[in-house]
Chains A and B, each alone.
Chain A
Amino acid sequence: MRFLSEKLPGVAVLGIPLLWISVFMLLPYAIIATYSFWTKQYPTFSPDFQFGNYLTLFTDPQYSKVLIRTLKVSLLVSLFSFLLGYPFAYFLAFRCKSQALRTWLYMAVIAPLWVSYLLRAYVWKTILGTEGVLNSFLMSIGILSEPSDMFLYNQFAMVVTLTYIFIPFMVMPIYTALEKIPRNLVEASADLGLRPIPTFLRITLPLSIPGVAAGFTMTFCLTFGDFVAPFLVGGPDGNLVANVIVTQFGTALNWPMGSALSILVLVIVLTVLSLSGRVERHYSPKEV
């Protein structure tokens, strides 16, 4: 009895999350991993242990094409989020003198996260579509004479939409990293004779790398697993890995193949995570 009352809090604190993770994360992964070695015998699958599914992933151009496309889109989304998000975060952290303005601008980044994801993706349909805002605008200023369908249903639309949706995940960690840089390091660099741009390149940028790495990781991984934006704005050749996985588990009724694909995505994401973790650790300033 006494043993129980003493150990109970500890068991509960560690046990409940552990149980949760086991049942809702590790177990499903284990099942998926098992499935990935099975063989498909339409319309069912039979237990097996073979690498055929994985082999197909790399040999069948249908899959490798989607994988490469997903990789490309993910990298582009991360890159554009970085190119747009870094200057914004820099302005917030270093240049914005008014506390009120800073709060408002930061909220402007965060607030969209409270809006339904689906809605935010759908918004771009109305902007980029033939009847959309962009077309009306271009026609009103005379660049287009009739509505164009070139903006929607392609990879461009997908990258724009996903960049819009995931950019907060780039801005937040970069802003946090920049905010942490003591202002007197920048002053010290100027004091030692460096102009603003060399100072930025040698002090501010290297010290904000952990934030950049975190931002890249999040936008990359989130895009890599996304299937709504491709579905809404991606068009006929806009399928990403997640869409293929959905198909494999759905209409194609090929769970083993879907599982193999899922495991591959997991491996890729984990690799990116561990790489960025390494980068973050390497560039993190040790406490002074």
Chain B
Amino acid sequence: MSVENIPAWADLLASSLLVLGSVLALIGSAGLLRLPDLFSRIHGPTLGNTLGLGCVLLASILIASISAGRLVFQEILITLFVVATSPLTAMLIIRAGMYRERVDRGKKATPQQDTMH
């Protein structure tokens, strides 16, 4: 364990960030089970993707910087990457959901037009 010689304020700050981030990620994932339909379930994991991940990354930057004795902020890269990509996944999933819902409704209304195969 290399988390022994850090000052008390950093210990407290990093601990609270970690706890906050993990609780947010847990609530977000619990939203997957608790929310009623697909479109509202998309909002659940966003919690972990934004503030949850942000808190964990800040804690990681803090501890790594202190134990290395200089500013280490490579974690910013993960933040940038996730911020740039997670909206894309969410958009694709919601569009797929909308598209398939429309297809299903169309099939129920006119089943004889199903000439896909």
A binds B: no
Residues of A within 8 A of B (CB): none
Residues of B within 8 A of A (CB): none
